[in-house]
């Protein structure tokens, strides 16, 4: 499968005459650090392809602060990321495969993108619930108008468990694909790796990550209608048990717990990395960005 992906990328690149690329061979294992110990580089220039063996002493393949994430391919379990890294020899961009295979850690930027997408979803959903509640008298609220409430409950469960219940929309499926818990775990690992002597901050980040998960779990379980362990009930049951007080509770949890916790987690990392993740989402998932942030 990986060989086929690599060859497909090569076939796309070769016709671009006058352009030089470095393609890192995906068949060698990636260790848990920021570089590949041994790997092959395919130099493609003017339709000519030459292969060279490189080591992590010659090129630092993954230089986090220069990374601009271009595309994430999740359907085949491989992440393809374009690095905005100019190799001094010929100023070529680099494609690296893979970032998350076997026991290897996800790239830090991918972890922060997941947290940031969750944060944006929480803000937009909370504002939608607020508009839903203020737009109509609670007793006159029809089931067709309770979409933000149902999305909040299903989305919170999807983010925590990866399970999608009946009545889910595209945004809920997107949350299920984030693998949030694993991203939080890997994000903490990267932080601990760069702050080995600061045990206090590591412990504090652990607490923040737990708060993110717990805030979402509380949205799922607060009224006893469902749990994070069992399949979601029918959406019709969720709607029939709706109360304005429940919608208000979810709105406040998202605004007062989920969003601040996501912001706290992101603030443990440097500005340059966060800005790169924000730009990536703005370029690739602009519809997910709250309107206020766009302006």
Which domain does 264 fall in, by range?
108-294
Closest CA to 90 of 18, 9, 27: 18
The domain boundary, picked from 43, 73, 96, lies at 96
In this structure, the answer to whether residues 162 and 233 fall within a common structural domain is yes
Tens-place pLDDT, residues 98-154 = 344 445 789 999 999 999 999 999 999 999 999 999 988 877 888 888 999 999 999
Quick check: is 102 in a domain?
A: no
Tokens of 107: 């790239």
Q: Mean pLDDT over residues 170-182, rounded?
A: 96
**Does residue 247 carry a pLDDT above 50?**
yes
Instruction: Please tell me which residue, 28 or 290, carries the higher pLDDT value.
Output: 290
In this structure, the answer to whether residues 148 and 262 fall within a common structural domain is yes
Tens-place pLDDT, residues 156-166 = 999 999 999 88
Q: Mean pLDDT over residues 268-294, rounded?
A: 90
The per-residue pLDDT for 136 is 82
In this structure, the answer to whether residues 92 and 119 fall within a common structural domain is no
> Residue 42 pairs with which residues in a beta bridge?
23, 51
In this structure, the answer to whether residues 225 and 145 fall within a common structural domain is yes
Tell me whether strands 20-24 and 38-45 are parallel, antiparallel or unpaired. antiparallel
Distance, CA of 130 to CA of 136 (rounded, Å): 11
Quick check: is 101 in a domain?
A: no
Closest CA to 49 of 6, 109, 104, 108: 6
| Number of structural domains the chain divides into | 2
Quick check: is 113 in a domain?
A: yes
Q: How far is CA 294 from CA 120, 270, 284, 290, in A?
A: 11, 22, 14, 7
Band (pLDDT 50/70/90 cuts) for residue 238 is confident
Tens-place pLDDT, residues 31-89 = 333 333 343 444 444 444 444 444 443 333 333 433 333 333 333 333 334 333 333 33
Band (pLDDT 50/70/90 cuts) for residue 263 is very high
Distance, CA of 164 to CA of 151 (rounded, Å): 11
Q: What is the pTM of this model?
A: 0.67
Distance, CA of 236 to CA of 167 (rounded, Å): 9
């Amino acid at each position: 499968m990986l060989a086929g992906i690599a060859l497909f990328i090569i076939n796309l690149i070769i016709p671009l005459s006058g352009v030089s690329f470095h393609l890192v061979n995906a068949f060698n294992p990636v260790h848990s650090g920021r570089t590949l110990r041994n790997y092959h580089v395919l130099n493609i220039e003017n339709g000519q392809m030459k292969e060279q063996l490189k080591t992590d002493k010659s090129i630092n393949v993954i230089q986090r602060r220069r990374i601009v994430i271009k595309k994430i391919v999740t359907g085949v379990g491989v992440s393809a990321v374009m690095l905005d890294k100019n190799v001094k020899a010929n100023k070529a961009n680099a494609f690296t495969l893979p970032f998350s295979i076997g026991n290897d850690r996800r790239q830090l930027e991918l972890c922060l993108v997941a947290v940031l997408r969750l944060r944006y979803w929480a803000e937009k959903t909370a504002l939608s619930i607020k508009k839903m509640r203020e737009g109509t008298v609670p007793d006159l609220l029809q089931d067709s108008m309770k979409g933000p409430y149902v999305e909040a409950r299903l989305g919170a469960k999807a983010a925590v468990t990866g399970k999608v219940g009946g009545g889910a929309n595209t945004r809920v499926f997107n949350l299920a694909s984030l693998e949030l818990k694993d991203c939080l775990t890997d994000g903490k690992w990267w932080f601990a790796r760069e702050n080995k002597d600061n045990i206090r901050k590591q412990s504090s980040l652990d607490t923040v990550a737990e708060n993110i998960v717990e805030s979402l779990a509380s949205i799922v379980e607060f009224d006893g209608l469902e749990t994070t362990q069992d399949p979601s009930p029918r959406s019709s049951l969720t709607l029939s048990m709706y109360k304005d007080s429940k919608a208000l509770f979810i709105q406040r949890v998202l605004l007062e717990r989920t969003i601040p916790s996501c912001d706290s987690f992101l603030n443990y990392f440097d500005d340059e990395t966060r800005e790169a993740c924000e730009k990536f989402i703005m370029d690739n998932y602009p519809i997910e960005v709250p309107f206020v942030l766009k302006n």
